[in-house]
Chains A and B, each alone.
Chain A
Amino acid sequence: EPEVTQTPSHQVTQMGQEVILRCVPISNHLYFYWYRQILGQKVEFLVSFYNNEISEKSEIFDDQFSVERPDGSNFTLKIRSTKLEDSAMYFCATNKGLAGGETQYFGPGTRLLVL
């Protein structure tokens, strides 16, 4: 069964550094999402992406965040200047987007630790 994959599984970085989290969506899916989960808290929506542009973003998704699909396969989340409070699990999700294809499938996540 096709799966969403994410790399790296773990990332440790220094505050102020840039990080790029990568996701490979399921091949025929058209809609892509990033979510995050701070330890012990709920899974929170960050951004949705379709047809090479952002469809919706949350208040969390400020100017330090950006997303792109640079090569038609990977879907990336860039955090430009990391802060301590960016430490969290980051999940990518994708769905087909066609009628009957609304179910989102999540990747295993990237654990980001900002020191």
Chain B
Amino acid sequence: DAKTTQPPSMDCAEGRAANLPCNHSTISGNEYVYWYRQIHSQGPQYIIHGLKNNETNEMASLIITEDRKSSTLILPHATLRDTAVYYCIVRISGGYQKVTFGTGTKLQVIP
């Protein structure tokens, strides 16, 4: 799996958009970008994933650059409950591929 680089920490004001960047310059054509988050030692929670098109769901939006070397997870209106560690993970498609977690970005949403 390709390696990802994320800032170790970020702050965001409550109600504002949180934009979390991720670099994955060695991504291969068959690798997806996944985002998970972990709220204080709870189980990792799936947020969103994409291959090359931008994606949106009820939790977030994922913007992937045209060259696919970086992406941004956008939480449109951050709340205090969004305070968590956010993991950007690149992994190939396949039924039983493990998820390899890095250290992620610790997002602190500030009142």
Contact = CB atoms under 8 A, between A and B. Distances in A.
B44 interface: yes
Interface residues of A, number: 32
Contact of B95 (A98, A106, A108, A111): A98
Interface of A is mostly: strand
A4 B41 CA distance: 16
Contacts of A89: 41
A111 B46 CA distance: 20
A102 B94 CA distance: 6
A33 B100 CA distance: 12
B46 A103 contact: yes
A109 B43 contact: yes
A102 B99 CA distance: 10
Interface of B: 32, 34, 36, 38, 41-46, 49, 91, 93-103
A91 interface: yes
Interface string A31-43: 1010101010011
Interface of A: 4, 30-31, 33, 35, 37, 39, 42-45, 48, 50, 55-56, 89, 91, 93, 95-98, 101-109, 111
B63 to A, nearest CB: 19
A32 to B, nearest CB: 9
A106 B49 contact: no
A43 B96 contact: no
Given A43-B38, A108-B42, A108-B43, A103 B49 contact: yes
B102 A42 contact: yes
B95 A101 contact: yes
Contacts of B103: 42
Contacts of A101: 95
Nearest to B91: A102
